[in-house]
Structure formats: structure tokens, C-alpha cells
Amino acid sequence: MTPILSATNLSKTFGSGDSAVHAVTDVSLQVQPGELILIKGPSGSGKTTLLSILGGLMRADTGVVSLAGQELTALGEGALAELRARKIGFVFQAYNLLGALNVEENILFPARLIPGHYAKARQQAAPLIERLGLTHRRKARPHQLSGGEKQRVAVARALINDPPLILADEPTGNLDSERGSEVAMLLHDIARKDNRAVVIVTHDQRIEDIADRILWLEDGRIRDRKQEPHEWTRDPVCGMRVDRWVARNVADYEDVAYAFCSADCHERFVADPARFAPTS
């Protein structure tokens, strides 16, 4: 399968001489459509820098980034801005909603940046708003929303231009457990149901379960944590690949052990195991 996002030998250094900080060192990665990847690592490990480079907001010193076959590193500022609008959806920890605009206007803001796209986006907005449970809040301003609602608006905004790639920076960082899980499942569904690539930078242990891969970034270098010893199986509810070694949501049914990608899938299975358990 052709990766939607491909990064090869990316390096980025801030400063020079003794004070030089190697934020990203020789990082390569590929992300497939429908794949959800977590990038984890200690503070200051270069996660945000890597996400900025992948999102075309910062240029690497060396290396190449390609998105949907288009090489970001070869694009000028104008073309890069257009590519961000068309092909990347951003979700931020601080939501970054525009204070003057209401929910619907915030969601549609990226659509205004693509000439001729607004009318079509308006039609798409209504089902998207409904899908994210924001119908009753569509005229509310950001300061009138809860954290969970704000992040759902941010997710809807990221989806409005139908981009193949979603980049999320600590999307659950400002949310309580319940709202965090809600947003994590939302991102999971976006990857699974919409077949989009989702890259999440996070410290949140709770959303490890939903990831296809977890990349560990430390001192600017990256390694694939799930390449370590594992036993792959399929979540019987959503079909996602799950590592039995790290899966925390498990259940037994008719002497068979099942592992789930998330608590949500686990609950759905427990409620009606016969529906999801594979027939022999």
C-alpha cells in the first residue's frame, strides 16, 4: 500500500555550536491511510518539532517529507499553505478555536481558505456537526463551550476539508478522563471509518490502546515500540490489530481470550459477546 505520509531522514537542529539542540535526528517514518500512530517521548524530545515538520509548519534541515505523493520540502510558502488547508487537519491541545467565531463558523473556517470550496463544505458541515454531537451548540462561541466540546469542534474543523492526514498534538491533554476517552475514540473512528491517517503526539497512556503503532522519540531519534516482542490479534469489535502483550482491555468468552483496542470496544463486546465472537 502507498503511504499517505512519508518522512525520510529528517533532521532539525536549533542553535549552533555548543548550544545546538538536535530536536530531530535522522527520523524516517511512513503512515498508511487508516493507520493511527502515536508519537510518544519525554518532554523536550522533539515531538512537537517533528509534528511541525510533518505538518509543513517548519522546514527540516535535511530529509524529505511527502504527503499524498507531494513533496513538502519542495513547496514554496504559498503552496505549502494551500496544501495544509487541503490535505492536513490539525487538532491542538489548546483547541485554538477562533474566539470571534461560533462553532459552525470555526468548523467552516478552513473551508474559506480554499477557493470555491465553501458552498460544498457548508453542506458537509451539518452531518459532521451532528456526528460530533454539536448540533445544539452550533451557534455557541468558544468561551461558552466545555473542554470536550471545544476539542470536538477542533476535530470537526480538522475534518471539514476532508484531508487524508490528521495531526493531533496532545488532543486529550486538557481533558478529564471521560472527555479524553471520547476524543480518543473519535480519532480512532476517523482513522478506521474514514480511512484517514492519524498521527497523535501524546503523553496520555489511556490512548495507547487505540494506536496501530507507537513511536518512541527520545533525544531526537525514533524507534517503533511495537516492533518489540508482541503477539498480534484482532479486536473482534472494530477489527483493529491489537498486541496481546500490552492490551489492557481483555475478556474471555467460551474459553477464548479476546483483546480489545479500547474500553469502548471492550464494553460493546461484553454487552453482546455472541454478536462479535467469531463463529467456529
Q: Considering the complex, what minimum distance in angstroms separates the CB of residue 37 from another protein?
A: 17
Site string for another protein, 63-102 (x = CB under 8 A): --------------xx--xxxxxx-x-x-xxx-x-xxxx-
Answer for which of 51, 129, 186, 191 binds another protein (CB under 8 A) is 51
Q: Which of 173, 216, 219, 221 binds another protein (CB under 8 A)?
A: 173
CA distances from 94 to 197, 207, 208 (A): 22, 18, 21
CA 240 to chain centre: 16
Shorter beta-carbon distance to another protein: residue 149 or 209: 149
Give the per-residue contact string, 129-168, with another protein (x = CB under 8 A; - = no): ----------------------------x-----------
CB of residue 50 vs another protein: minimum separation in angstroms? Answer: 11
Q: Please say whether the beta carbons of 216 and 40 come within 8 A.
A: yes
Which is nearer to another protein, 105 or 189 (by Cβ)?
Answer: 105
| Smallest separation, CB 173 to another protein (Å) | 7
- Structural contact between residues 114 and 85, judged by C-beta atoms closer than 8 angstroms: yes
Within a 10 A sphere around the Cβ of 118, how many other Cβ atoms?
Answer: 13
177 neighbors 169 (Cβ within 8 angstroms) = no
* Exposed/middle/buried for residue 227 (C-beta within 10 Å: 0-12, 13-18, 19+): exposed
Per CB under 8 A, which of residues 100..129 are in contact with another protein?
A: 100-101, 105, 109-110, 112-114
# chain residues binding another protein, by CB under 8 A: 35
DSSP character at residue 19: G
When the beta carbons of 102 and 249 are compared against another protein, the nearer one is 102
Nearest CA to 226 out of 13, 96, 40, 17 is that of: 40
The 3-state secondary structure of 84-135 reads HHHHEEEECCCCCCCCCCCHHHHHHHHHHCCCCCHHHHHHHHHHHHHHCCCH
CA distance 158 to 61: 27
Q: Least distance in Å: CB of 99 to another protein?
A: 7
Question: Looking at beta carbons only, is 32 or 174 nearer to another protein?
Answer: 174
Task: For residues 264 and 279, give the distance between their C-alpha atoms in angstroms, rounded to a whole number.
Answer: 22
Residue from the set 6, 27, 41, 52 that interacts with another protein by CB under 8 A = 52
Where along the sequence are the contacts to another protein (CB under 8 A)? Answer: 48-49, 51-52, 55, 57-58, 77-78, 81-86, 88, 90, 92-94, 96, 98-101, 105, 109-110, 112-114, 157, 169, 173-174
